[in-house]
Amino acid sequence: MSNSLRLYLDQMFQVDVAQALREQGYDVLRASETGLARVDDCQILEKAISENRILITLDEHFGNWVVLPLSKHPGVIRIKVTPTTSSKVIKLLSHFLRNHTQEQFIDHLVILSGKCAKWILTA
């Protein structure tokens, strides 16, 4: 699969995660690089949508449609790893992302753990 995915990393990810993904050829923006280092989830999602980027987050609110409704969007990947270290996140994402295209993520929430990837159609 192509590694031309456009990704938007939520505010909790360190620069080393972005750098590792960039080195693999992904087009990556971090929330802190867009001036959104300390904003609410709605603003993070709006920015990802406006940039046509798949949002990558650790935030469980993205699985709760009452708190944060998901309708039309380029995709959201919620990562579940313990402990949440940059190296674990990089390893998990590197393996997972290389097997998918940008289009596959449209209107999907993917809950990604070391054991499985649960795909949920949100629109």
> Which range marks the domain in which residue 92 is found?
6-121
83 found inside a domain = yes
84 found inside a domain = yes
What does the DSSP assignment read for 55-77? EEE--GGGG-TTTS---S-S-EE
Structure tokens at 12: 């909790």
Structure tokens at 96: 């997972």
pLDDT in tens, 68-115: 556 788 999 999 998 989 999 999 999 999 999 999 999 999 999 999
pLDDT in tens, 31-66: 988 776 677 778 888 899 999 999 999 987 766 554
| Under 8 Å between Cβ of 7 and 28 | yes
1 found inside a domain = no
The one-letter amino acid code at 81 reads: V
- Bridge partners of 9? 30, 56
The pLDDT of residue 24 is above 80: yes
Work out how many domains the chain is built from and give that number.
1
